[in-house]
């Protein structure tokens, strides 16, 4: 019998909790270990080097805790750090362990949502500038055109609990308009940032009629479920006692307070000193 441990779920802060929630739903009973690097969030406006360095440090901590598999439940980290960690670091530091992101599983299905073959991507500046969605979607849906819009103000608005304010509305209008100015026939829009599901209800009314707004939580969770089915050698290393633990690099009091909004349930986190 192999030694079993929880699946690690990493995010720059709170946003990954929207993904964790869906993983918990679709993989009930699996132990999960969530880590938010709140002390150094947001990642969205940071350079490639910095996001890579921070993400690697957190991933090492999760693997050090025994996780056989880590999900980067953060678009920015998936865009800027995943490939290098997968290809360069993992084979040397943790051979046999696995790491997956959120962009590829989303890119694998997103084209199915658009009849016009025109997809809009709303994300952080880092995710948009990396061009990761364009590159990945092109592999699976080469006939689909991808239009991207960076929305740098949205994460701070959400984190500061100002997302339902009048001022926030201005920035929802602004970025949604800027996306549709690129092409008015976009008929599917992806929320390519783990924070954005919180404002889905505020964005929906701003979209032209018939446009689908897509959150990626359930897409990522479904893809993880399929992955574990296809990889029984990884699945058998995942522990299953229904335990979910939360760790943050910053204040546990702040984490526990904010998390309820993202996760929908009360959380009791522990502090990590990296």
Binding site for ligand DGL (CB under 6 A): 11-13, 15, 41-44, 74-76, 124, 127, 155, 193-195
Q: How far is the CB of 124 from ligand DGL (least distance, A)?
A: 4
Give 220's DSSP letter: H
**177 CB-side CA count, 13 A:** 6
Q: How far is the CB of 60 from ligand DGL (least distance, A)?
A: 19
**Catalytic pick among 58, 67, 74, 151:** 74
Q: How far is the CB of 238 from ligand DGL (least distance, A)?
A: 23
Q: How far is the CB of 130 from ligand DGL (least distance, A)?
A: 10
Q: Which is nearer to ligand DGL, 189 or 238 (CB)?
A: 189
Separation between Cα atoms, residue 179 and residue 184, nearest integer Å: 8
Q: Which is nearer to ligand DGL, 103 or 211 (CB)?
A: 103
CA angle 165, 75, 37 (to 5 degrees): 80
**Catalytic pick among 58, 67, 151, 193:** 193
The residue nearest ligand DGL at its CB is: 44
Give 208's DSSP letter: P
Q: Which is nearer to ligand DGL, 56 or 74 (CB)?
A: 74
Q: For residue 217, what are its two tokens? A: 């939580």
CA distances from 75 to 93, 207, 211, 242 (A): 23, 23, 22, 26
User: Coil, strand, or helix at residue 104?
Assistant: helix
**Residue 193 known to be catalytic:** yes
**Residue 74 known to be catalytic:** yes
Catalytic annotation, residues: 74, 193
């Amino acid at each position: 019998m192999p030694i079993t441990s929880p699946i690690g779920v990493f995010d720059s802060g709170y946003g990954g909790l929207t993904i964790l929630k869906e993983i918990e739903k679709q993989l009930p009973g699996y132990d999960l270990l969530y880590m938010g690097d709140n002390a150094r969030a947001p990642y969205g406006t940071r350079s490639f080097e910095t996001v890579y360095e921070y993400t690697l440090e957190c991933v090492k901590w999760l693997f050090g805790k025994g996780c056989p598999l880590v999900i980067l439940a953060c678009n920015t980290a998936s865009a800027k750090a995943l490939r290098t960690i997968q290809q360069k670091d993992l084979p040397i530091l943790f051979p046999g362990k696995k790491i997956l992101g959120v962009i590829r599983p989303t890119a694998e299905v997103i084209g199915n949502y658009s009849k016009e073959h025109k997809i809009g991507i709303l994300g952080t500046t880092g995710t948009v500038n990396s061009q990761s969605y364009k590159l990945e979607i092109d592999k699976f849906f080469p006939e689909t055109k991808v239009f991207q819009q960076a929305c740098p103000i949205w994460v701070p608005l959400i984190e500061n609990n100002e997302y339902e304010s009048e001022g926030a509305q201005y920035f929802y209008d602004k970025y949604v308009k800027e996306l549709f100015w690129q092409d008015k026939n976009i008929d599917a829009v992806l929320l390519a940032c783990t924070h954005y599901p919180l404002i889905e209800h505020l964005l929906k009314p701003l979209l032209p009629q018939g446009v689908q707004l897509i959150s990626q939580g359930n897409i990522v969770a479904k893809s993880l479920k399929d992955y574990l089915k296809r990889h029984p050698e990884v699945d058998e290393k995942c522990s299953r006692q229904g335990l979910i633990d939360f760790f943050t690099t910053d204040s546990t009091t702040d984490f526990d307070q904010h998390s309820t909004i993202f996760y929908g349930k009360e959380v009791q986190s522990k502090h990590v000193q990296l």
